[in-house]
């Protein structure tokens, strides 16, 4: 049986999830206790795999609400990490 993707999940996979993933990779880099240039390299190297994984997970969500809530949760946690570091 084919899996039908709704417009909400597709929108979350294209817009929300990659944005949250990039924010999470920047938060990860900000929290690392290494020099600034290494942080930049880590953030750049982690952004693409994180965005691809987030888009796939958003498409695999059971509903559009779960896809958007997952993206929002990751973005909120990453924002808190960035504010606290």
Residue 6: its pLDDT value, please? 82
Using 50, 70 and 90 to split pLDDT, how confident is the model at 7? confident
Q: What is the pTM of this model?
A: 0.85
For the cut 80, the answer to whether the pLDDT of residue 19 exceeds it is yes
| Max Cα–Cα distance, the chain, nearest Å | 51
For the cut 80, the answer to whether the pLDDT of residue 83 exceeds it is yes
Residue 2: its pLDDT value, please? 58
Query: Which residues touch 79 (CB under 8 Å, ≥6 apart)?
Result: 23, 27
Residue 36: its pLDDT value, please? 85
């Amino acid at each position: 049986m084919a899996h039908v993707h709704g417009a909400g999940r597709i929108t979350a996979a294209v817009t929300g999830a990659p944005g949250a993933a990039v924010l999470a990779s920047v938060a990860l880099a900000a929290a690392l206790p290494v020099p600034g240039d290494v942080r930049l390299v880590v953030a750049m190297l982690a952004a693409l795999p994180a965005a691809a994984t987030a888009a796939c997970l958003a498409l695999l969500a059971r509903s559009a609400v779960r896809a958007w809530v997952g993206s929002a949760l990751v973005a909120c946690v990453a924002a808190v990490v960035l504010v606290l570091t």
